[in-house]
Structure 1
Amino acid sequence: MVDTKNDTKGSQKLGLGQALLLTTLFAMLVFAIVWGMLAWTSAEGAEMSIHGWIALTLGTTFSLVIGCGLMALMFYSSRSGYDDTATPKFRKPDAPTK
């Protein structure tokens, strides 16, 4: 006989707080999408000069280079063992000395 009241494998019902949080987050998402669409379509007649395009290109390129560079440094640091001393509880025990 299976006890269905204490079965943790089945789906759980949302509590009032969780439902309220999900509703609030969904409303914020809808608001952001609507606001973005209105902002995008409100600037139909605006044109950007060549200086604006250069600034946009340089800013985007710089952000991507910095982001990729920092991620590469993070992976290099993690794989080469530099991060081991920063977390002593995960450090492997030293080999016994004779």
Structure 2
Amino acid sequence: MKVFLLTLTLGGILAAVLFGTLTGWDGSAMNIHAWIALGLGTFLSLALGGGLMALVFYSARKGYDDRIEIDTETHD
């Protein structure tokens, strides 16, 4: 499975580079505002993902994800 995913990833990168080379696509046509937006969007996405993963690890270590036992017996 790992070999398949690696092959698929490298094939996709190769296809993108080949497409860019053959069509003469210029990726530097973005102005400064687009680069700032791209950088901020990337940074904020990574920060949000890292923060959520930190919360997952925190809740797992503190025991918030443990199974709880619910008493379903009735006491008459």
Which TM bucket (shorter chain)?
A: 0.5 to 0.7
Q: Deviations over 1:59-90 (max 9, x none)?
A: 1111111011011001100000000027x7xx
The code of the aligned residue for 1:59 comes to G
C-alpha root-mean-square deviation of aligned residues, in Å? 2.8
Q: Which has the larger radius of gyration?
A: 1
Q: What's 1:73 paired with? A: 55
TM-score when normalising by structure 2 = 0.63
Q: Which runs of 5+ in 2 are unaligned?
A: 70-76
Q: Are 1:83 and 2:65 matched, yes or no?
A: yes
TM-score when normalising by structure 1 = 0.51
The code of the aligned residue for 1:43 comes to W
For residues 43 and 15 of structure 2, what CA distance do their matches in structure 1 show? Answer: 27
Q: What's 2:72 paired with? A: none
- SS of the residue aligned with 2:67? helix
Q: What's 1:7 paired with? A: none
Alpha carbons of structure 1 residues 66 and 29: separation in structure 2 relative to 1, 3 Å: closer
The code of the aligned residue for 2:56 comes to M
Q: What's 1:32 paired with? A: 12
Alpha carbons of structure 1 residues 40 and 79: separation in structure 2 relative to 1, 3 Å: farther
Structure of greater relative contact order (alpha carbons < 8 Å, 6+ residues apart): 2
- Count of residue correspondences: 65
For residues 84 and 37 of structure 1, what CA distance do their matches in structure 2 show? Answer: 47
Structure with greater helix share of residues: 2
